[in-house]
Amino acid sequence: MFARLSLAANTTFARAYGREESVSWRLPDSSEHGDATTTIALSAAKTIGKPPREIAETLAADLRGVEGVMKVEVAGAGYVNVWLTSVALVDELDETTKALNKKPASKDPPVIVEYSQPNIAKPLGAHHIVGTVLGQALSNVYEHMGFPVLRWNYIGDWGTQFGKLAVAFEKWGSGKPVLQYTLDELLDLYVKFNAEAENDPSLDSEGREAFRKLEQGDKELRAFWQDVVSVTKSSLADIYERLHVKFDLDLGESFYEDKMESILNEGKKKGVFVEGEEGSLIAQFAPETNLPPYLVQKKDGATLYSTRDLAQMRYRIDTYNPQEILILTDIAQKLHFEQLVATCQLLGWTLPPFENVLFGRMRFADRSMSTRKGNILKLEHVLDEAVSRAREVIRTHRDTIDTRDEDALAEMMGVGSLVYGVLSQNRKQDLVFDWDKMLSFEGNSAPYLMYTHARACSVLRKGEHKGDFTFGKNLPESLSSAERSLIQALLAFPNALEESRKTAMPHILANALFALCQAFNHFYHTEAILKAEAKLKELRLALTALTAQVLRTGSSLLTLVLPDQM
Ligand code: ARG
């Protein structure tokens, strides 16, 4: 960004101080501070041995002669702020236009993004939306920027709970085949098992025994398990479709069943896995790590979640040699992954860059959305609630909303509001969901994004504009402050994309889109677009077209679809 300014500033540093610098410029936080700003004078002051303001003045003096520079100011402790001419500023929009295009996938090894990871035989809970859409958005951003991505659903399809479910099915099942069960019915069986087991502890050992048999390949239990997996996967498919979520692989925990023994042997041989209580196996870590021991095999020889995660890491490294692995989970799994990584290191494995992308807990401001004891709040139910609330909103705004297909719009807006409710929040904090905010037409919400996009499209339709955003050289001498702010909001897009990717925080992109909506609406209310004189009209329509496209592309990376009309 601002290549010409960087070149000029580098030259100043070479000439005045004999230093090789690569000076970077960024957009100021507020358009009052110009179009581009740099802190180089502050950061280089120490090594150069001169006061920052003096360096800033030297730089400013040189910049004043650079083509495309309209005004330069030294501010505060030594910031250099630059205002560009309209031609130079509009030229910068090239970067934004380029960032709209999806880069072809490189030939590099893949980035593995693991997300959603539901457990079989249970419907998706409301909280699953967080990791599911965060993971999808991150995958989309990576892919857009030319990284080959493997989107991985690591399904929880193995473990003692299947033994329990099998026992419950046997004892209290209705007699119909598993394939005819709904997920809710399967969940009921599981809940009943747990309730009964509180009074009758022998049930638990029956459950464990059934799972042991399943592990050993019992034919009937295998067939039962397989059917449970099918019932679950087909019900997941519906929700994933509504959320625009897609995976390349759904290899779950069961896949690693035959890949754990060799790892257990390797660990024993290397002295990493040692005997814990009653013949179990554990990994222990150096005291300074502060990590508690990691149980990798139970005393009855059964493997665990941890054992499968070790196998999963080994398999991914051996099979894909990934350039990076991201695993999205909520904060509750932080310790588990720290222990996992520490264990891999003790085993002497070379791991690719790995991040456990953590997110906070989800909470509804509305008390009616909390769960009663023992019940899970189903995601499907929450999505339906969102759609019916969106329908209400559409009906109350009947006078301003113009749509031919109310059902489609309600689905888009309802689901979109929840999804955007996740992606516009900083994932590192607890995520709070407030229906009024999510469905508002004014704040940082999906409806606001949709409405702004539809507004831009409507301007283009009325102006019979084809939506292309090439900017001619025939530009007005000066830009209004609304135009300048809009251009700056458009310029923020490429950087927001890259920052979202690097930090695994899609809310950075969401915030940039929100700021763009605000700048566009301000521009729309301040400037005449269609009635402006020819030269201005051309510029303003092109800015409108570019705004619409940035909103569309950015939103689609966040899994949202925006209507052209509403
Ligand atoms: N299925 C697990 C759960 O619901 C999450 C899996 C996270 N990923 C992993 N590789 N352990 O708790």
The 10s digit of each residue's pLDDT in 209-250 is 999 899 889 999 999 999 999 999 999 999 999 999 999 999
Confidence of residue 403 (pLDDT cuts 50, 70, 90): confident
C-alpha neighbours within 13 Å on the C-beta side of residue 14: 10
The ligand 1 atom at the shortest distance from the C-alpha of residue 329 is 7
Tell which residue, 110, 116, 106, has the closest CA to residue 137: 116
Ligand 1 centre distance from Cα of residue 94 (Å): 42
pLDDT at 134: 98
Q: Would you mind telling me the total number of residues written for the chain in this entry?
A: 566
Average pLDDT over residues 7-15: 96
Kindly report the pTM of this predicted structure: 0.95
Average pLDDT over residues 182-188: 92
Q: Of 112, 333, 338, 356, which is best to mutate to test ligand 1, by the most ligand atoms within 8 angstroms of its C-beta?
A: 333
Q: How far is the C-alpha of 229 from the C-alpha of 550, rounded, in Å?
A: 40
pLDDT at 404: 81
519, 489 Cβ separation under 8 angstroms: yes
Confidence of residue 368 (pLDDT cuts 50, 70, 90): confident
Give the SS3 label for residue 29.
coil
Residue 167 — φ and ψ, nearest 5°?
-65, -45
Residue 39 — φ and ψ, nearest 5°?
-110, 15
Ligand 1 centre distance from Cα of residue 326 (Å): 13
The ligand 1 atom at the shortest distance from the C-alpha of residue 156 is 1
Confidence of residue 374 (pLDDT cuts 50, 70, 90): low
The ligand 1 atom at the shortest distance from the C-alpha of residue 305 is 11
Average pLDDT over residues 319-336: 98
Q: First CA to last CA across the chain, in angstroms? A: 35
Whether residue 332 is predicted with pLDDT greater than 70 in this model: the reply is: yes
Average pLDDT over the chain reads 95
Structure confidence by residue, pLDDT tens digits, 55-113: 999 999 999 999 999 999 999 999 999 999 999 999 999 999 999 999 999 999 999 99
Percentages of the chain per state (helix, strand, coil), in multiples of 5 = 55, 10, 30
Structure confidence by residue, pLDDT tens digits, 353-362: 999 999 999 9
Task: Give how far the C-alpha of residue 458 lies from the chain's centroid of Cα atoms, to the nearest Å.
Answer: 30
For the beta carbon of residue 478, count every other beta carbon within 10 angstroms. Answer: 10
Helices 183-199 and 160-172: crossing angle in degrees, nearest 10, is 90
By the 10 Å C-beta count (0-12 exposed, 13-18 middle, 19+ buried), 223 is classed as exposed
Q: Of 113, 114, 115, 117, which is best to mutate to test ligand 1, by the most ligand atoms within 8 angstroms of its C-beta?
A: 117
Confidence of residue 148 (pLDDT cuts 50, 70, 90): very high
> Nearest-5° angle of CA 112, CA 115, CA 118?
140
Ligand 1 centre distance from Cα of residue 451 (Å): 37
Cα dihedral 372/373/374/378 (nearest 10): 20
Q: Of 329, 331, 355, 357, which is best to mutate to test ligand 1, by the most ligand atoms within 8 angstroms of its C-beta?
A: 329
pLDDT at 472: 81
CA distances from 37 to 14, 27, 140 (A): 20, 6, 30
Confidence of residue 335 (pLDDT cuts 50, 70, 90): very high
- Residue with the bigger pLDDT between 473 and 92: it is 92
564, 454 Cβ separation under 8 angstroms: yes
Name the residue at shortest CA distance from atom 9 of ligand 1.
309
Q: Which residues fall within 8 angstroms of residue 160, CB to CB, at 6 or more apart? A: 207, 208, 211, 302
Q: How far is the C-alpha of 41 from the C-alpha of 37, rounded, in Å?
A: 11
For the beta carbon of residue 403, count every other beta carbon within 10 angstroms. Answer: 17
Ligand 1 centre distance from Cα of residue 107 (Å): 29
Tell which residue, 320, 321, 382, 310, has the closest CA to residue 345: 310
Name the residue at shortest CA distance from atom 11 of ligand 1.
309
pLDDT at 401: 83
Ligand 1 centre distance from Cα of residue 329 (Å): 7
- Residue with the bigger pLDDT between 543 and 566: it is 543
Confidence of residue 372 (pLDDT cuts 50, 70, 90): low
Ligand 1 centre distance from Cα of residue 328 (Å): 9
Give the SS3 label for residue 330.
strand
Q: How far is the C-alpha of 315 from the C-alpha of 259, rounded, in Å?
A: 8
Whether residue 371 is predicted with pLDDT greater than 70 in this model: the reply is: no
Residue 73 — φ and ψ, nearest 5°?
-140, 140
Ligand 1 centre distance from Cα of residue 330 (Å): 9
Tell which residue, 140, 131, 188, 199, has the closest CA to residue 165: 188
Q: How far is the C-alpha of 211 from the C-alpha of 205, rounded, in Å?
A: 10
Ligand 1 centre distance from Cα of residue 324 (Å): 18
Q: How far is the C-alpha of 477 from the C-alpha of 420, rounded, in Å?
A: 39
Whether residue 461 is predicted with pLDDT greater than 90 in this model: the reply is: yes
For the beta carbon of residue 401, count every other beta carbon within 10 angstroms. Answer: 20
pLDDT at 373: 53
pLDDT at 566: 86
Residues with CB under 6 A from ligand 1: 114, 117, 119, 154, 156, 309, 312, 327, 329
Say what percent of the chain tops pLDDT 90: 89
pLDDT at 412: 96
Confidence of residue 517 (pLDDT cuts 50, 70, 90): very high
Q: Which residue has the tokens 């109310």?
A: 406
CA distances from 352 to 110, 135, 349 (A): 11, 19, 10
Pairing of strands 324-330, 111-114: parallel
Q: How far is the C-alpha of 287 from the C-alpha of 396, rounded, in Å?
A: 62
Average pLDDT over residues 4-14: 96
| Range in 114-118, 403-407, 516-520, 559-563 with the lowest mean pLDDT | 403-407
Ligand 1 centre distance from Cα of residue 372 (Å): 24
Ligand 1 centre distance from Cα of residue 154 (Å): 7
Average pLDDT over residues 435-459: 96
- Residue with the bigger pLDDT between 342 and 212: it is 342
SS (H, E, C) 351-372: CCCEEEEEECCEEECCHHHCCC
Confidence of residue 31 (pLDDT cuts 50, 70, 90): confident
pLDDT at 327: 98
Name the residue at shortest CA distance from atom 10 of ligand 1.
309
> Nearest-5° angle of CA 30, CA 70, CA 550?
50
